[in-house]
Each structure stands twice: as structure tokens, then as C-alpha cells.
Amino acid sequence: MRKSYAAWMLLLFSFCLLPGLAMAAPAQAQDQLKLMVEGKSVDADVPPVIDQGRTLVPVRVVAEQLGATVTWDDVSRSATIVRGQTTLELTLDRKAARKNGKDVQLDTAPKVHNGRMLLPLRFVSESLGLTVGWEEATRTVIVNSPLTVSVNGSGLAAASTVYVIDGTAFVPVDALANSFGLKDWVNKQTIHQTRTIDSVRVAPLDEMRDLLGVDAQWDQKNSRITFTRDTNFTGVEVDGEKVSIKTTNRVTPASFTLEGPHRIVMDFPQTHLSSKMQNGLDSSYQGIAYQASAANDSDDRETTQNNRVNDQAAEMPSWLSGIEENNDSEDVAVDALSQVTAASVPVASDAKPPLVTTIRYSQYQPDVVRVVVELSQKSNYDLSQQEDGVSVTLKPAPRKTGYLIVIDAGHGGHDNGASGVAGNKEKDYNLAVANKVVKLLSQYKEFQVVATRSTDVYLTLQQRVEIANNMGADLFLSVHANSFTPTSRGTETFYYNANSEAFARLVHSYLVKATGFPDRTVQIQPFYVIKNTKMPATLTETGFLTNEIENKQLMSPAFQDKIAQALATAIREYYLQNQ
């Protein structure tokens, strides 16, 4: 180091003698710009500056603080930086540089300011194998040797950069929380010393250790931080439409649904089977699940085996099973067919029929427990994290019991739809009429009527379509009101698919008669809710909220009753015509 420093002083002296070195500073000045290397603040004789969004620092910082040697070529006006096995060549005012003999392009060129050569810190540091971060709040550039982070022996799956600030290791909050299945819970907690570096939230190692309830060790000699926590899956409890997954620590799984049969799949990270649950595994079917209802006769066993094969194909990743899987999970199986064993937890069948038919579990990956809840029908669900596991609240879709009609009140919640000339909102008109239609149709015992929304809530277009398609609806009607210019008037009805034309024309004939508004005819349009529903579907635009005459009538409860009666009558007539 003494020899390198002497070389640097000679280099600095030569710089001072170079003509033309007192150039103007880069466009963006260095007001209050700070530099921290290996956890300690650095006071450079020439402060760092920012040029084109990149921090430039004096050569002296590179030589002294980063442990590199720097030589200067006066003829080529270039600096050569060597650290370990890495050699960098940078030239004043040129973005073209070289790393270990290969050409690279810089975002900003080296500059000269106040007689000192300034180099792009991030490029130099990262090229030399160092970690670099920018904290906007304090305008501080942070550089330190890289620290590896492991969780229960495995590296973090997400960004895991660790920064050292004033001797304290700051670790990535979200990556750590997610690795332990605690991201949602951590987001609700107060972290007192959180900082944001390179747009990533970090916090002191000790605070994250206590918050997550894990063991954490910082091996400074080997630049390594390890986090460990032993979480076991201990069992399940079922109470009607509520399933409790028991674990020894708080953890939230990644989850998705599959069909054939309907089931909810949950993967618990950094979790292992307890000895009790291991004893329940049936090792004769490695990596293949079975249903709790299987009987002992050969026919039932054959059926069960077929179900296992189907489950295997559905739950293994597409590259392994040869089929595609439509979910957002990252199902990764390592030698899954030979190493994953599974068992079932039988569920008492006191319900008629029970919603939950079987619960299966396995050590799907070395650090992932998979729990599969099989259902007798399609069901939505909510996950709620508990101190001792996860509560799964099931929301089964209504069973189809008759001629199923879905009535859709357009917009809702934060989506107001069009605005009326009196300040009224389309979503309110849509909901009022839709609820009246539902009430009118519900008097017919052969009808099963479902509303996509009966209150002021927001649903996506996809959710509206899924309600109708998943239930196997027979008809779909979406209620809307129109908007355009103040002089625009009239009633129009839309359909898209050929099987919807007759329904749309019948609805329109009743609707125009009820409104008395100008007839804007029946039209074909690819509106999402009528394009993607599988049954006859139509979307009505009763009138224009932007027209003073029509808006006044649309706001009238008596007029809304009249519209609802017309729509209900049209639906009833269509049903009778097609039976």
C-alpha cells in the first residue's frame, strides 16, 4: 500500500502539470454528495460529482479506498487500473474503455475537474467485483466488498445485495421476508431503521433478525451472512369452509388453483415435514398423491392410481410432464418423480356433499412443503396468515340449480363509468336497474339469478366473465348507460357472438319501447364481457347521461322500474322461446 500511495502521489503531481486540466465541472454539481467505502465515510480532496446520472470520483479514491493500483499514460491520456485479476483501461473524455482486453462502453466518460481525473465509480467498482449502491435520501454513494447471503443454506432467490453503513450490515427487507414466506406480514410491521438504496428497501441485520424471528450470523472474515429458521408443517384442521394449515412458525405459501378435480395448491417456503407428518407418507407412490376416499377393492385402487397420474401431470412443471400449466407458480421439481413422496389427510365427510374432499401434502422440494386441498366444486379462497400457520377460507361458487341468468351492473367502486349532466354517476344507474332486474327474475322458481355485483364494488371485466363462464350460465345481461355529446340521444344494444344475436334483438325491442328514446339499433361490438362469455350475452346502453332530457329520466326511480321490467320480460320471453 505504501508503494502504491507513492506511485499515486507522483501521478497526482504529473496531473497538476498537465495543461488544460482546469476544465469546467460536469453539468450537475456535487452539492452534498457523499461517499462511503467499506462502511466508512470518505473525504476526498475533490468531492465526487454526478455527470449524466453517473457518479465520478477522483483516481485517488480508486487507488486508496478500493485497493487498486493506478498508472497514467500521458501520451494516450489514459489510466490503467489493476485489482486482482481485473485490468481496466479508461481514457479521458472517451466512453470507450477496455476490461481485461475487451472493449466496453461507458455511460459517461472520465473527466478532469480541479486538476484531478474523475472516474465513473459504479463501472470501476462493479468491474472490480465490488458492490455499489446509491441512497437518494442522503445523496450517498455506498461501496463495499460483496457479502453473500444464504437462507437455510440456500442463496436468496431475489435481489440480495447487502450494504455496509457505519459498520452495520443493511440487508434487503423484501427478499428476506419473501424467502421465509413473510412478505405480506412484514409489510404491515414497522421497521424503524429502513433505508432505500438503489430503489431497494434495506434494514439493519439485527432488526431484521428480530422481526423475522430467525437466527442470523455475519461472518465478516468470509464476507457471508447466514439466516436460519426451522419451520415444520405439523398438520391440518377442517371446519366446513375453513381449512387451517398448521406450522411451527408464521409463514405464507405461494398458491394457485388447478382443475380436474378442483383443488388449491399451496407451497410453503423454508418448511419441512414434522416427524409426525413424515410418518404419514406412503412411500410406495413416490411423487404421486392419492385420495383419502380410496377403498381397498381393486377397482377403487385402479381409479385412485389414475387420479394420481392425472395429478402428477397437472402439478409438475410443463417441461417435466409435457403439458402446459396455466398458473403463475414457478413449479420447479428436481428429480420429482423419484424423490417426492406424498400422503393424504382424510377429512370427515359430515357435509352433504363436503366441499373439502381430501388434503394432500408432500416434501415437494428440499425446503418446500406442498399442501393440496381437493374440493368437490370450484371455489375462491382467501389466505390469512396466523402465528401457527395459515387459515384458508373457502368461497365456493354457487352450484347451478336452474336456468342460470347472470345480471351484470357495469362499472362500480372506484370506476364511476360515465358522468351525468347533473353530477350523477353511471355506476349508480347500472346498479339500481340491475338489482331491480334480479328481484323481478327471482320470482320464477325455474330461474337461478346471480348478480356480478349487488353493491358498489369494483370487479374487473375478466372477473365478470369468469362468474358467468365458471357457473355455466345460460344468459348474460350487462346494464349500462351511454355518454357522448349533449345532443346525443337514444337506446342501443350490443352483442358479439353469433349465438347472442336473437337474445340481443329481443332485449332491444323491449328496451326501446320502454325508454321511448330514439332507436340506435342493435350493433356488433367486441366489448370484453360479451365477447368472452360463452352463453348468449348482450350489453345495453339505455340512454345518454350527457343529454339533459334522457339523464333526468335515467335518474328517476319510476323510470328505472320501467326499464327493469322491460329487461326482465325480454329475458323471460327468450327463455320460453328456447325451451
Digit-by-digit pLDDT tens for the chain (579 residues) are: 444 433 433 344 334 333 333 333 444 444 578 888 888 888 877 778 888 888 888 877 777 787 888 888 888 888 898 988 999 998 998 989 899 999 999 888 888 887 778 888 888 888 888 888 888 888 888 888 888 888 887 777 555 789 898 888 899 888 888 888 888 778 888 888 889 998 899 999 899 888 888 888 898 888 888 888 888 999 888 888 899 999 998 888 999 999 888 899 999 988 989 888 888 887 643 332 323 343 333 333 333 333 333 344 334 333 233 323 333 333 333 333 333 445 555 555 444 578 888 898 999 988 899 999 999 888 889 998 888 889 999 988 777 788 999 999 999 999 999 999 999 999 999 999 999 999 999 999 999 999 999 999 999 999 999 999 988 999 999 999 999 999 999 999 999 999 999 999 999 999 999 999 999 999 999 999 999 999 999 999 999 999 999 999 999 999 999 999 999 999 999 999 997
- Is 49 strand, coil or helix? strand
Distance CA 133, CA 98 (A): 23
What's the CATH number for 2-135?
Answer: 3.30.457.10
Give φ, ψ of 507 to 5 degrees.
-60, -45
- Is 148 strand, coil or helix? strand
CA dist 504 to 259, 321, 430, 444, Å? 33, 44, 18, 21
**Residue ranges per structural domain of the chain:** 2-135, 147-228, 231-395, 403-577
Distance CA 253, CA 238 (A): 18
* pLDDT confidence of residue 561: 98
Beta-sheet strand order (sheet of 224-228): 154-155, 148-151, 224-228, 215-219
| Residue 173: CB atoms within 10 Å | 24
Q: Is the Cα torsion angle 451, 454, 460, 463 positive or negative in sign?
A: negative
Distance CA 554, CA 515 (A): 9
Whether 191 contacts 173, CB under 8 Å: yes
CA dist 468 to 1, 569, 579, Å? 74, 21, 20
CATH topology of domain 147-228: Ubiquitin-like (UB roll) (3.10.20)
* pLDDT confidence of residue 40: 87
Dihedral, CA of residue 542, residue 547, residue 552 and residue 558, to nearest 10: -10
Under DSSP, the state recorded for 129 is: T
pTM above 0.75, yes or no: no
| 525 half-sphere exposure, CB direction, 13 A CA radius | 14
| 25 half-sphere exposure, CB direction, 13 A CA radius | 15
CA dist 244 to 390, 440, 533, Å? 6, 40, 35
* pLDDT confidence of residue 159: 56
Question: Cβ neighbours of residue 478 under 8 Å, at least 6 residues apart?
Answer: 408, 410, 464, 527, 529, 530, 537, 538, 539, 540
* pLDDT confidence of residue 514: 97
Q: Which three cell numbers stand for residue 67?
A: 485497493
Whether 65 contacts 4, CB under 8 Å: no
Distance CA 157, CA 199 (A): 18
Distance CA 129, CA 545 (A): 64
Distance CA 171, CA 227 (A): 11
CATH 2.60.40.3500 fits 231-395, yes or no: yes
Secondary structure element (H or E) that encloses residue 389, with its range: strand 389-396
- Name the one residue in this structure whose C-alpha cell is 465478516: 220
Distance CA 447, CA 450 (A): 10
CA dist 120 to 29, 37, 174, 176, Å? 15, 15, 29, 31
Q: Is the Cα torsion angle 358, 311, 389, 284 positive or negative in sign?
A: positive
What's the CATH number for 403-577?
Answer: 3.40.630.40
- Name the one residue in this structure whose C-alpha cell is 485489482: 83
CA dist 274 to 129, 225, 345, Å? 42, 27, 14
